Homo-oligomer: A and B are copies of this chain.
């Protein structure tokens, strides 16, 4: 499940604040989900809760980390050291949560040789050598959209089977390769949609009209995390 990492983060918080055990209700609140959903998710991992008590925080952390494959520190190659790539290279959230940026790569010779956070940017042509040396299985694409597909092909060619794509485009990859996409502008556009919806609803509570002037209020909205209470 895609919620496991969120649980893991909440569990680490709890562990740091000295909690030995946690109830499904407590963990669900910390992770921002329903308690029944959380219990159902955790039951998929096998039973690790004690009825009447709750879950052992440490044990649950180990278990989730095992399932997520975080027992080994995975090496990641980051391609594209532009604006966003720079930030990603310096983002300590990766290192603190089980990942090691093993290589920074870029196609621009201007950027090759630059040192970021203790790592030197190498040319993308070095990818085959680097991938072999570091046994890289995960690649991050932070290039412009025009270069993303080419980079993806190169990553796949050297054995990368998981790609995190920040470029605003759809990647074609062979079967067996996983792609996750993060598009920062899309996130904002989704918020903009909600803004527009809210504005329409308050301005014209009961509006009809032609299709062209129809308000978007009728669209189904699956909000991500609304009104978590206080």
Contacts and interface: CB of A to CB of B under 8 A. Distances in A.
From A137, A180, A216, A224, residue with most partner B Cβ within 10 Å: A180
Contact of A193 (B31, B68, B185, B212): B68
A227 B194 contact: no
A41 B216 CA distance: 13
| Contact-residue bracket for chain A | 35 or more
Interface string A1-41: 11011101110010000000000000000111000000000
Interface in A182-223: 182-199, 211-212, 214, 216, 218-220, 222-223
A68 B86 CA distance: 30
Given A6-B186, A170-B32, A211-B47, A192 B98 contact: yes
A186 B5 contact: yes
A230 B174 contact: yes
Interface stretch (A50-58, A124-132, A160-168): A160-168
Nearest to A191: B162
Given A32-B170, A186-B5, A219-B1, A161 B195 contact: yes
29 contacts: A4-B193, A5-B186, A6-B183, A6-B186, A13-B169, A44-B220, A63-B212, A67-B193, A67-B216, A68-B192, A69-B199, A70-B189, A87-B87, A93-B184, A93-B185, A94-B188, A97-B185, A98-B192, A164-B191, A170-B228, A174-B227, A175-B226, A175-B227, A176-B226, A178-B223, A178-B224, A179-B226, A180-B191, A181-B225
